[in-house]
Amino acid sequence: MEKIRTIHYGVGYVGAEIARLAASRPNIEIVACIDTDLVKAGRDLAEIIGAAQPTGMVISSDAGAVLSSTEADVVVHCTRSYLPQVVQQLSQIIEAGFDVVSTCEELSYPQLQYPDLADKLDTLARAHGVTVLGTGINPGFAMDKLPLALTGVCQEVRSMRVTRVVDASRRRLPLQRRVGPGLSVEAFQERVKDGTVCHVGLLESAALIARGLGWELDDLSETTEPVVADRVVSSEHFTVQPGQVRGVQQVVRGLKRGRVVLVLELRMALGEEDPHDAVVIEGTPPIDMVIQGGIHGDQATAAVIVNSISLVAAAGPGLVTVNDLPIARSLGVA
Amino acid sequence: MEKIRTIHYGVGYVGAEIARLAASRPNIEIVACIDTDLVKAGRDLAEIIGAAQPTGMVISSDAGAVLSSTEADVVVHCTRSYLPQVVQQLSQIIEAGFDVVSTCEELSYPQLQYPDLADKLDTLARAHGVTVLGTGINPGFAMDKLPLALTGVCQEVRSMRVTRVVDASRRRLPLQRRVGPGLSVEAFQERVKDGTVCHVGLLESAALIARGLGWELDDLSETTEPVVADRVVSSEHFTVQPGQVRGVQQVVRGLKRGRVVLVLELRMALGEEDPHDAVVIEGTPPIDMVIQGGIHGDQATAAVIVNSISLVAAAGPGLVTVNDLPIARSLGVA
């Protein structure tokens, strides 16, 4: 088996989990690591991924130097959520001739909010013969690819509702922070405005579904509301008093000929007692699916990214979405 | 939009449902119909699919004449369950230069039981530049592609259990017959031996999962048992007395290094009170999925086949499985 050589660009919490998993896979060989955080630069990868022995691989903060001097196949990119923040990094990777799989949420369907940037990235990727994919658990699976896969058994889909309820208490600290625990409702609203409280990518998930179904929506809109505690709720990191915010609820609605045909509802809060993922399709046949307990986001994000590496390596050039690729599957060892 | 031109080879109960759905899709144009049943030959397709107006398309029993004289893209093949019964039909279609999507259950993964036939079909398909796919709801989705898609979020899969419970009372007459309602246990055992009572394709589903996960199984075995009524159970077509058979339960077990890592359990019986599809993955993260009510097989089979037509038309040449293709999705109109 020829190994796929990866460069890991961004080894923060999620990036390190991805690198740790990639290092364990027999079909993947990590050949370089990049992180612009100077605290990480110069350290051995082993320290970041919690390996017992040094790997001999030193994290570099000089992306240009690494990308221009390394023989590799795929860059695993894990830095920021918003496309404008990463477009420079992505361009540099593409110009160096590497396929990219990225956790950037807005890259999951950049055509929605940044059609010009998407065009540019697609043109650049084709010119350099590389594939560019944004994916993860959400966006990338739970609220787009999975519901869309379920429609494969439908003769007709009249409407769809996708729900994801996450108990943030069980998630990593940065995610807990992003749901705004302990904030007043007013402070929460401010944080929504500046983009520091909320999940990025729900609109992209809805657009991926609509695109996948060939639906032309009249309107696609999002609301973001606080989930307010009615009792004391606490996690390892936060304690929330009654009346304070314990989480966030985002809802995207898609309209077609004046009728709501698509609803995506994401609730991430401390103390959620019934976390789950659900897809309800009103169609022929109807589908009523639930994943009890929900899909654990931190573990799953790393899995989806690493499981997608071989698909991206095999795909034709251009900017692609999860809709375009075969299903990723775990190649973890039983 | 350029239409995909289809020839429908086999318009029995399921084939007619497929043709009816294909006729309703704006991206598909039915250009010919074949059925070797002389009762159907010579009749207008409208009679078979229940259309109000004649279509002008007459069903032919002469496959050779239709295949050699028709301009088309994809043949939708829906005749028999066992590969040896259809290999001649498939070869004729391939040699005529058409892509094939077929409901033949054993074609979903012919490498398992007929590696030589699979090789021959693959070689022939490549020589003629066409794609050959066997799919449907089961095998093809509920007990293979869907569970495999769910592993895409797993870092590691240690074992998997897939369960499908079907209330046969709600299914078409031929399927009700296949579960053996009203038989004595002895008569049931005879019918299992001659292959007229049982679902075909459960071993293929298990092999598709194992292959998709890169698992080398030591053993893959199947048991078929009667489900015996403990009360009177009836459907539109059958009444079953206590002590008689009301259905069939098939279980496939896959072993890896002596440990059961894969269990597929299919129960199809009259009077099942909690029909459902379930996938339980012991892995990181674990997954516990259920589709309440189950996926309705008759409607879904037609949907999966028709939704796969454009994928087969776009795929490269050779004998492929559902693992190789992007997800099918409904292009039904909302």
Query: How high is the pLDDT of residue A197?
Result: 84
Q: Are A207 and A139 in contact (CB under 8 A)?
A: no
Q: Contacts of residue A212 in chain B, CB cutoff 8 Å?
A: 329
Is A11 within the bounds of a domain?
yes
Q: Which amino acid is at B241?
A: Q
Find the closest chain B residue to A315 by CA distance.
B326
Strand partners, A251: A223, A265
Q: Judge whether B97 and B129 are in contact, CB under 8 Å.
A: yes
**Residue A318, strand partner residues:** A131
Q: Determine, yes or no, domain membership for B78.
A: yes
Instruction: Tell me how far apart the alpha carbons of residues A281 and B289 are, in angstroms, rounded to a whole number.
Output: 16
Whether B128 is covered by a domain: the verdict is yes
Neighboring chain A residues of B284 at a CB cutoff of 8 Å: 299, 303, 332
Place of tokens 């022939």: B124
Q: Please give the pLDDT value at position A170.
A: 87
pLDDT in tens, B64-104: 999 999 999 999 999 999 999 999 999 999 999 999 999 99
Residue A330 included in any domain: no
Are the C-beta atoms of residues B75 and B7 closer than 8 Å to each other? Answer: yes
A285–chain B Cβ distance below 8 A for any pair: yes
A122 phi and psi, to 5 degrees? -65, -45
Q: How many CB atoms lie within 10 A of CB A44?
A: 16
Chain A neighbors of B333, CB-CB under 8 A: 156
Q: Are residues A282 and A154 in the same domain?
A: yes
Q: Which of B261, B284, B323 sits opposite A326 (nearest CB)?
A: B323
Single out the residue of A138, A33, A3 nearest to residue B152, CA to CA: A138
Same domain for B197 and B273, yes or no, is yes
SS3 string, chain A, reads: CCCEEEEEECCCHHHHHHHHHHHHCCCEEEEEEECCCCCCCCCEHHHHHCCCCCCCCECECCHHHHHHHCCCCEEEECCCCCHHHHHHHHHHHHHCCCEEEECCHHHHCCCCCCHHHHHHHHHHHHHCCCEEEECCCCCCCCCCHHHHHHHHHCCEEEEEEEEEEEEHHHCCHHHHHHCCCCCCHHHHHHHHHCCCCCCCCHHHHHHHHHHHHCCCCCEEEEEEEEEECCCCEECCCCEECCCCEEEEEEEEEEEECCEEEEEEEEEEECCCCCCEEEEEEEEECCEEEEEECCCCHHHHHHHHHHHHHHHHHHCCCEEECHHHCECCCCCCCC
Binding-face residues of A in 253-282 toward B, CB within 8 A: 256, 261
Are A272 and A207 within one domain? yes
Say which CATH number the domain at B79 has.
Answer: 3.40.50.720
The minimal CB distance from A307 to the residues B152, B286, B303 is found for B152
Q: Are residues B313 and B264 in the same domain?
A: no
- pLDDT tens digits for B238-271? 999 999 999 999 999 999 999 999 999 999 999 9
A positions 296-325 inside 8 Å of B (CB)? 296, 299-300, 302-304, 306-307, 323-325
CA distance B129 to chain A (A): 19
Which residue in chain A is spatially nearest to B20 when comparing CA positions? A155
**CB–CB contact A304 B153 (8 Å):** yes
Give yes or no for B141 touching A (CB within 8 A): yes
Residue B5 has pLDDT above 80, yes or no: yes
Residues of B in contact with A274 (CB under 8 A): none
> Is-contact A49 A20, C-beta < 8 A?
yes
Task: Mutate one of B155, B158, B166, B320 to test the A interface: name it (highest A CB count within 10 A).
Answer: B155
For residue A213, the number of C-alpha atoms closer than 13 Å in the C-beta half-sphere is 35
Q: Given pLDDT bands bounded at 50, 70 and 90, which one contains residue B334?
A: very low
Most distant CA atoms of chain B, gap in Å: 60
Least confident of A166-180, B107-121, B202-216: A166-180
Q: Work out the number of other CB atoms within 10 angstroms of the CB of residue A36.
A: 14
Give, rounded to a whole angstrom, the gap between the first and last alpha carbons of chain A.
19
Report the residue of chain A nearest B137, measured CA to CA.
Answer: A153
Which residues of chain A fall below pLDDT 70? 332-334
CA–CA distances in Å: residue B279 to residues A136, B232, B309, B329:
21, 31, 27, 20
**Total number of domains in chain A:** 2
Closest Cα in chain A, distance from residue B212 (Å): 7
Task: Find which of A329, A331, A333 to mutate to test the B interface (most B CBs within 10 Å of its CB).
Answer: A329
Q: pLDDT tens digits, residue range A149-208? A: 999 999 999 999 999 999 999 888 888 998 999 999 999 999 999 888 889 999 999 999
B211: Cβ–Cβ under 8 A, 6 or more apart, which residues?
B109, B321, B323
How far is it, in rounded angstroms, from Cα A294 to Cα A169? 13
Could you tell me if B153 and B287 lie in one domain? yes
Mean pLDDT of chain B: 95
User: H or E element: which one contains B31?
Assistant: strand B28-34
Interchain contact, A152 vs B333, CB within 8 Å:
no
The per-residue pLDDT for A112 is 97
Of all residues in chain B, the one with the smallest CA distance to A325 is: B326
Q: Are residues B8 and B75 in the same domain?
A: yes
- Domain check: are A245 and A153 in the same one? yes
Q: Which of B283, B285, B295 comes nearest A153 by C-beta?
A: B295
Residues 193-212 of A with CB under 8 A from B: 212
Write the residue in A291, A295, A323 that is nearest to B326 by C-beta: A323
The answer as to whether B329 is a domain residue is no
Instruction: For residue A278, give the CATH number of its domain.
Output: 3.30.360
* Cα gap A108→B239, rounded to integer Å: 53
Residue B122 has pLDDT above 60, yes or no: yes
Which strand (E) or helix (H) includes residue B23? Answer: helix B13-24
> Which of A131, A141, A153 would best serve as a mutation to test chain B binding (most B beta carbons within 10 A)?
A153
Name the B residues in 13-52 with CB < 8 Å from any A CB: 21
B22-25: long-range pairs with CB below 8 Å, 24+: B22/B76, B22/B306, B22/B309, B23/B49, B23/B51, B23/B55, B25/B306, B25/B331, B25/B332
Residues of A in contact with B153 (CB under 8 A): 137, 141-142, 295, 300, 303-304, 330
Range of the domain at A20: 4-137+299-324
Strand partners, B277: B164, B291
d(Cα A22, Cα A24) in Å, to the nearest integer?
5
Residues A83 and A183 reside in one and the same domain: no
Residue of chain A nearest B300, judged by CA positions: A153
Q: Is residue B333 assigned to a domain?
A: no
In a domain, A239, yes or no: yes
> Are residues B256 and B204 located together in one domain of the fold?
yes
In sequence order, the β-bridge partners of residue A264 are A162, A252
- Enumerate the residues of chain B whose CB falls inside 8 A of the CB of residue A157: 330, 332, 334
**Set of chain A residues whose Cβ sits within 8 Å of the Cβ of B214:** 331
For residues B156 and B285, state if they share a domain.
Answer: yes
Give the model's pLDDT for residue A333.
54
**Contacts of residue B324 in chain A, CB cutoff 8 Å?**
326
For residue B333, what pLDDT band results from cuts at 50, 70 and 90? low
Identify whether residues A229 and A153 lie together within a single domain: yes
Task: Say whether A329 and B212 touch across the interface (CB within 8 A).
Answer: yes
Flag whether residue A158 sits within 8 Å of chain B, measured between CB atoms: yes
Q: How far is A291 from chain B (nearest CA, A)?
A: 4
In terms of domains, do B272 and B162 share one?
yes
Q: How far is B229 from chain A (nearest CA, A)?
A: 28
Please indicate whether, in this complex, the C-beta atoms of B327 and A137 are within 8 angstroms of each other.
no
Q: Is 50 exceeded by the pLDDT of residue B212?
A: yes
> B334 in a domain, yes or no?
no
Using DSSP, how many helices (H) and how many strands (E) does chain B show?
Answer: 10, 14
